[in-house]
Amino acid sequence: MMDRRTFFTATAAFGGACAVGALMPKGIAAAPAATSGWRRFKIDVEAAPVTASGPLKMWLPLPTQTSYQRVRSIRWTSESAADAGQFYDAVYGAPMLYAEWTAGKPVNPTRVVYEVETRDHAADLALAAKQRSMTPDPSVALFLKATPHMPIDGIVQKTAEKIVAGKNTPLEKGRAIYEWIVDNTFRDAEVKGCGVGDIRFMLESGNLGGKCADLNALFVGLARAAGLPAREVYGIRAAKSRQFKSIGASDNISKAQHCRAEFHVAGAGWVPIDPADVRKAVLEEKLPVDHPDIVALRGRLFGWWEMNWIAYNDARDFELPNGPKDPFNFLMYPEASHRGEWLDGIDPQAFKYKITSTEV
């Protein structure tokens, strides 16, 4: 590992740029050269965990490169940290800024500014409908595996088998699970943050309420149990939505984290979906699920994402670099550990961070 104290000497004035590395999450293609339809956002993150001094470790999620997202620049400063820099986890390639303060050292605010270009992400559903093979592409085999928070046996497998009974193609199975999620789950406003995605508990308890990291995780687990590679993609809303006020955010986006999902069809690629946002619109727009506007949204969010949102990573139950050996659920919020105790990254006031978005 490079000596990042040298790095800080070079960039203490803020403005040292970090070029985005070539390492990307498995299965995500590099950004194309086309420029039509792109919009640019500047995201400013200032994190000052509520503690006077170290030892402290902090992890801040960073944007990733995808076919629908281009990372143009990442800059940071964290002058009092003993070690800091851009890291990637070893399995998924999730990008993050890691900073560490030694015992007795003051913990000064860390600031990260990045610029990202996005464009709406759509699957070719006509092409996907022609693909009949259920043999997955070997390049996405990782996204068929169970994880500690996402089992694919027992009640998960039995539920998936019932949902996809009579469906023969990957697209048909993915559609059946998507429709089942919209019809059988609900958004629970009392759930803290985005939820935890404990899908076995959801199915065994019969409580199918939750938020995006619950409902979209349930889709992913059921899809994997049905033989479909699938993954959550963790990120943050960065702009108002053209569809509903409830599924957009702007300016201060400190509480705008949002998880989406997608499944893979061999020969056609990743199909983006977001059943959790359908249920969010039902709740927060106070519309019934059969309202024409909700029906239209439900149709759009199978195979399409509005990119007023920035993607961080698709890592689930993974090992944080320089973190504990126990699997970490997901990285979507700023996270920090002080003297071995986790701070509450879900609460910007308790953790003391602010994230702002400006469309350039």
Three-state secondary structure along the chain?
CCCHHHHHHHHCCCCCEECCCCCCCCCCCCCCCCCCCCEEEEEEEEECCCCCEECEEEEEECCCCECCEEEEEEEEECCCCCEEEEEECCCCCCEEEEEEECECCECCCEEEEEEEEECCEECCHHHHHHCCCCCCCHHHHHHHCCECCECCCHHHHHHHHHHHCCCCCHHHHHHHHHHHHHHHCEECCCCCCCCCCCHHHHHHHCCCEECHHHHHHHHHHHHHHCCCCEEEEEEEECCCCCCCHHHCCCEECCCCEEEEEEEEECCCEEEEECHHHHHHHHHHCCCCCCCHHHHHHHHHCECEECCCEEEEECCCCECCCCCCCCCECCCCCCEEEECCEECCCCCHHHHCEEEEEEEC
Range(s) for CATH 3.10.620.30 in the chain?
124-306
Residues in the chain with pLDDT values less than 50:
1-35
Return the CATH number of the domain spanning residue range 124-306: 3.10.620.30
**pLDDT value at residue 359:** 96
**pLDDT value at residue 124:** 97
User: How far is the C-alpha of 360 from the C-alpha of 358, rounded, in Å?
Assistant: 6
Range(s) for CATH 2.60.40.2250 in the chain?
4-119+315-359
Q: What kind of fold does domain 4-119+315-359 have according to CATH?
A: Immunoglobulin-like (2.60.40)
- Two structure tokens written together for 114: 């990045």
Q: What is the dihedral of CA 263, 298, 283, 305, to 10 degrees?
A: 50
**pLDDT value at residue 256:** 98
**pLDDT value at residue 36:** 57
**pLDDT value at residue 279:** 98
The predicted model scores a pTM of 0.90
